[in-house]
């Protein structure tokens, strides 16, 4: 037992307690500094390989006095890192405002024998604190007095209303927290209590939860893992190619040239030239536009998702949502409306409707505000809403009657009673409502026992709260005496439910069809949790068993090995405590799952932090929001399905850009390799290469990032956690399209080089235009990757994509027609333009034909 002194602590004891246990302040999470956020951008594997390429390119630039490629790579690095940094820093700045907890709220305490008000931050362990309806509990404590006390524990357990008592005979053995214990951050829904503080600040339950919400999570995102593998592949391929070219060119110079006959200085210069050409291959192999493409895609998705009520705080969460395989969701406020509603009310007497409405309205302490929101006890408020829905306004009924005596609800009594002077009938009436079994025992025999029992059982099987209403004429002036006299008439049973949101069943079904598992984690009773799962289509009594449902106590008692064998089969965890959800997330991640967690309370913060994607509710606590990656502004589970669609579409767009750029890289490297081996120089000037790089990087990145999300991705299964970003289908397209480009371009190159006329400026212009328009048409092949429709559909939704293509085509024509000596071009005739466009368009036409045949085959 705790030490309780009705006189409270003395000033000396307060100082000693503060010295020993600290202030009642929860340490806020520390924001990342701007420098750290910027440094984080350089941990990207592709950025790191770009930095190496920039160093090598600078080395070549100093030798050849040409820094064009180096400047391009450095600009790509700066753009990719700074754009990502700006969006995340801006999001962090906005969220910083959400994490300010007001620790100066006045709290009533007993000190030195007198009641006084002090700021909440000054409460210490051992303080005697008084709490009443509407107030927030300032710290963890043990009750020494409780009168009709109800606590809203939804921020910790999801329970909107929990009875509290100091009478051990009425303790609830299934309660998440003991019936005589109250927790910091919960609110008093009804009644009055006196508590002795047992824990303050970080030592409180809310403090421990917040601490876990700020622990660094080193779980790597799926995209990071895939980019790491891609960068490793590019590095190995680039180095292998450069070594191969160095050996081939050196061997050619040694055995087919006159290198051995030259002096050592000439030999050194030629070997250095061969080395620089080899290093240039590494630089060319690096897709410097990839980080910018990913950043642009994430940034554009971040802004667009805001229109669908998904406020993204951390950029990579946009894409990670597409890889999610499991969603762990709480119940109250996420699946349900967090608003009590009278589902059904069954009458058992012939009392006129107006008289019955008066009994309900007067035997209640709740109110409805102008907007219809409940003020006070949510269960009583649900009855007032039911009255209003039937055209009966409680306010005139209360104004027309007089209250003689009232007995508030208590855990011990389990009923509320009020004696009124009726304004409807003029009679003195005893009004009673409460637990059906208690109220029924007060009533006279009426032959309805079996009917009432059957009705109650039906309601309880559907996890509804039941409330009975009874009345009797009386001459008494005190409720206790009137109730003790008995003989009441049993009037009605109300079945009260926190209804499921209308859009949730469809959203859950969409997630299940997309191969995503859904698990409910709630502080509610097992029966309520199962019923909600049934209503949203997650639970089937014919197939699901106890193996699919676990309570928080069972979960805490089980070892990790036992749970790992079962965790993927779980659908429901009831009576869960705050850290249970975090442990569940960790276990699921150990089984290879990519986990998203939804929540709105402080209890959800640790799991939100440790999940691959944390989704907080817009109406949730600041701690939950700060721990999350995405905030659902409309609190709707349906927005989660939308976020998954965005994430999958975003990943598909990133794959399309990789496909486009690696096809061009493959063609350029192969042409460079063949040209180096056979002694044919690359027929593109530095300025032309700069324009080609702009197309490959900026324009292509913008085009692919602008493609809208597609609902068809929700028909796919989640991609494997460690899937390589380059799929076999992508590899086939890269080698096929790249091979066609290489054959056509090398044919032009060798045909003209070894002809009598040789390479003229007009032919070089044709080569340059052919190379660019191959990229132009290859955009269509990239857009059509993994789609179930033609690339020419969705014209309105892809307006930006086609505008960018138009900009490329117009830009190329202007450069050729007006570029002159700067771009080393001459104007082409309309016939030559037609030949270039028709020849290169075969690349897109062939790709569309292949995809059409594949769609017909799979239909």
Q: Which residue has the tokens 């659902």?
A: 632
pLDDT at 309: 78
pLDDT at 94: 46
pLDDT at 327: 94
pLDDT at 411: 66
Q: What average pLDDT does the segment 540-549 reach?
A: 90
Residue 436 has pLDDT above 70, yes or no: yes
Cα Rg, the chain, nearest whole Å: 36
Which is nearest to 842 in space by CA: 764, 740, 699, 743?
Answer: 740
Report the alpha-carbon distance of residue 218 to residue 512 in Å, rounded.
28
Name the more confident of 359 and 580.
359
Cβ 478 vs Cβ 508: under 8 Å: no
Query: What strands lie across the sheet with 595-599, from one edge to the other?
Result: 310-312, 630-632, 613-617, 595-599, 326-329, 517-521, 572-574, 549-551
Cβ 406 vs Cβ 393: under 8 Å: no
Confidence of residue 633 (pLDDT cuts 50, 70, 90): confident
Cβ 387 vs Cβ 455: under 8 Å: no
Q: Which stretch of 174-178, 240-244, 377-381, 777-781 has the lowest confidence by average pLDDT? A: 240-244
Q: Which residue has the tokens 């269509």?
A: 780
Name the more confident of 307 and 423.
423
Q: Which stretch of 214-228, 663-677, 700-714 has the lowest confidence by average pLDDT? A: 214-228
Residues marked as catalytic: 330
Confidence of residue 591 (pLDDT cuts 50, 70, 90): very high
Confidence of residue 618 (pLDDT cuts 50, 70, 90): confident
The tokens describing 759, both together, are: 């390479």
Residue 509 has pLDDT above 60, yes or no: yes
Residue 426 has pLDDT above 70, yes or no: yes
Q: What is the DSSP string of 787-835?
A: -SS-TTS-TTTTHHHHHHHHHHHHHHHHHHHH-HHHHT--PPPHHHHHH
HSE-CB at 760 with a 13 A cutoff on CA atoms is 7
Q: What average pLDDT does the segment 607-621 reach?
A: 82
Q: What average pLDDT does the segment 798-822 reach?
A: 87
Distance of CA 454 to the CA centre of its chain: 43
Residues 99-116: tens digit of each pLDDT: 344 566 778 899 988 888
pLDDT at 99: 39
Q: Is 382 helix (H, G, I), strand (E, B) or coil?
A: helix
Name the more confident of 340 and 60.
340
Name the more confident of 816 and 60.
816
Q: Sign of the CA dihedral 322, 324, 327, 328? A: negative
Name the more confident of 644 and 31.
644
Q: Which residue has the tokens 């080193």?
A: 218
The tokens describing 49, both together, are: 């390989």
Q: What average pLDDT does the segment 65-74 reach?
A: 67
Cβ 330 vs Cβ 600: under 8 Å: yes
Torsions phi, psi of 574, nearest 5?
-100, 165
Rounded to the nearest 10°, the torsion over CA 664, 669, 671, 676 is 160
Which is nearest to 615 in space by CA: 337, 340, 326, 339?
Answer: 326
Confidence of residue 462 (pLDDT cuts 50, 70, 90): confident
pLDDT at 97: 44
Cβ 81 vs Cβ 262: under 8 Å: no
Kindly report the pTM of this predicted structure: 0.66
Q: Which residues contact 203 (CB under 8 A, 6 or more apart)?
A: 21, 22, 140
pLDDT at 630: 87
Report the alpha-carbon distance of residue 277 to residue 675 in Å, rounded.
11
Rounded to the nearest 10°, the torsion over CA 268, 272, 278, 280 is -170
Name the more confident of 706 and 676.
706
Neighbours of 736 (CB within 10 A): 16
pLDDT at 48: 66
Task: Determine what percent of the chain is predicted with pLDDT higher than 70.
Answer: 81
pLDDT at 700: 79
pLDDT at 9: 92
All structural domains of the chain, each given as residue ranges with its CATH number in brackets, are 305-336+502-643 (3.40.50.1000), 341-497 (3.40.1110.10)
């Amino acid at each position: 037992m705790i030490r309780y002194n009705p006189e409270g602590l003395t000033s000396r004891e307060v100082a000693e307690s503060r010295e020993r246990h600290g202030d009642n302040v929860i340490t806020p999470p520390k924001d990342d500094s701007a420098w750290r956020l910027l440094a984080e951008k350089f941990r990207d594997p592709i950025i790191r390989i770009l930095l190496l390429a920039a160093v090598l390119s600078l080395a070549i630039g100093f030798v050849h006095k040409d820094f064009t490629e180096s400047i391009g790579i450095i600009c790509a690095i700066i753009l990719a890192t700074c754009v990502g940094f700006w969006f995340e820093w801006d999001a962090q700045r906005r969220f910083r405002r959400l994490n300010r907890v007001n620790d100066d709220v006045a709290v009533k305490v007993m000190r030195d024998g007198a009641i006084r008000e002090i700021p909440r931050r000054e409460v210490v362990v051992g303080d005697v604190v008084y709490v009443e309806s509407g107030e927030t509990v300032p710290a963890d404590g043990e009750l020494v007095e409780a009168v009709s006390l109800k606590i809203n524990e939804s921020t910790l357990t999801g329970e909107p209303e929990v009875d509290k008592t100091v009478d051990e005979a009425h303790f609830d053995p299934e309660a998440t927290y003991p019936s005589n214990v109250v927790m910091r951050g919960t609110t008093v829904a009804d009644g009055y209590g006196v508590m002795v503080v047992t824990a303050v600040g970080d030592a409180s339950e809310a403090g421990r939860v917040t601490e876990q919400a700020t622990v660094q999570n080193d779980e790597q995102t799926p995209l990071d893992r895939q980019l790491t593998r891609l960068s490793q592949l590019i590095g190995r391929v680039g180095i292998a190619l450069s070594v191969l070219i160095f050996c081939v060119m050196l061997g050619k110079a040694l055995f087919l040239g006159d290198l051995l006959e030259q002096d050592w200085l000439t030999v050194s210069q030629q070997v250095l030239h061969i080395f620089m050409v080899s290093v240039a291959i590494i630089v060319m192999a690096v897709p410097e536009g990839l980080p910018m493409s990913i950043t642009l895609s994430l940034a554009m998705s971040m802004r667009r998702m805001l229109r669908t009520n998904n406020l993204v705080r951390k950029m990579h969460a946009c894409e990670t949502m597409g890889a999610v395989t499991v969603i762990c969701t709480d119940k109250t406020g996420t699946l349900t409306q967090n608003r009590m509603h009278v589902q059904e009310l069954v009458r058992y007497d012939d009392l006129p409707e107006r008289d019955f409405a008066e009994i309900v309205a007067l035997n209640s302490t709740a109110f409805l505000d102008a907007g219809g929101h409940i003020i006070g006890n949510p269960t009583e408020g649900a009855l007032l809403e039911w009255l209003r829905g039937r055209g009966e306004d409680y306010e005139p009924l209360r104004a027309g009657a007089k209250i003689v005596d009232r007995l508030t609800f208590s855990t011990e009594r389990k009923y509320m009673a009020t004696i009124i002077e009726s304004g409807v009938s003029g009679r003195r009436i005893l009004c009673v409502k409460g637990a059906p079994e208690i109220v029924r025992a007060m009533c006279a025999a009426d032959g309805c026992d079996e009917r009432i029992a059957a009705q109650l059982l039906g309601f309880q099987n559907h996890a509804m709260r039941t409330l009975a209403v009874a009345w009797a004429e009386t001459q008494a002036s005190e409720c206790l005496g009137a109730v003790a006299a008995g003989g009441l008439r049993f009037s009605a049973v109300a079945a009260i439910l926190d209804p499921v949101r209308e859009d949730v069943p469809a959203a859950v079904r969409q997630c299940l069809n997309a191969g995503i598992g859904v698990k409910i984690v709630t502080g509610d009773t097992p029966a309520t949790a199962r019923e909600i799962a049934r209503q949203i289509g997650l639970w089937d009594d014919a197939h699901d068993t106890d193996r699919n449902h676990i309570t928080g106590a069972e979960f805490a008692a089980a070892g990790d090995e036992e749970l790992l064998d079962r965790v993927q089969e779980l659908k429901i965890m009831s009576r869960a405590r705050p850290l249970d959800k975090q442990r569940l997330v960790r276990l699921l991640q150990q089984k290879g799952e990519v986990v998203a967690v939804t929540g709105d309370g402080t209890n959800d913060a640790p799991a939100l932090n440790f999940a691959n994607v944390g989704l907080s509710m817009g109406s949730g606590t600041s701690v939950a929001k700060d721990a999350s990656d995405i905030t659902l502004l409309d609190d709707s589970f349906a927005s989660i399905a939308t976020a998954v669609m965005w994430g999958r579409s975003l990943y598909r767009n990133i794959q399309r850009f990789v496909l486009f750029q690696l096809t061009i890289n493959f063609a350029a490297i192969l042409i460079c390799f063949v040209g180096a081996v056979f002694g044919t120089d690359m027929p593109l000037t530095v300025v032309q290469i700069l324009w080609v790089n702009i197309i490959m990087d900026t324009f292509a990145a913008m085009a692919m990032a602008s493609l809208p999300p597609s609902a068809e991705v929700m028909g796919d299964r989640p991609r494997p956690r460690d899937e390589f970003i380059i799929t076999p289908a992508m590899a086939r397209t890269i080698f096929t399209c790249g091979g066609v480009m290489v054959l056509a371009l090398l044919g032009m190159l060798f045909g003209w080089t070894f002809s009598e006329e040789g390479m003229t400026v007009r032919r070089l212009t044709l080569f340059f235009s052919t190379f660019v328009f191959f990229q132009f048409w290859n955009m269509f092949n990239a857009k059509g990757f993994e789609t179930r429709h033609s690339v020419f559909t969705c014209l309105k939704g892809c307006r930006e994509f086609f505008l960018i293509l138009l900009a490329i085509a117009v830009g190329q024509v202007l450069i050729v027609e007006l570029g002159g000596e700067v771009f080393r071009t001459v104007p082409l005739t309309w016939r030559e333009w037609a030949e270039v466009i028709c020849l290169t368009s075969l690349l897109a036409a062939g790709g569309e034909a292949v995809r059409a045949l594949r769609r017909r085959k799979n239909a």
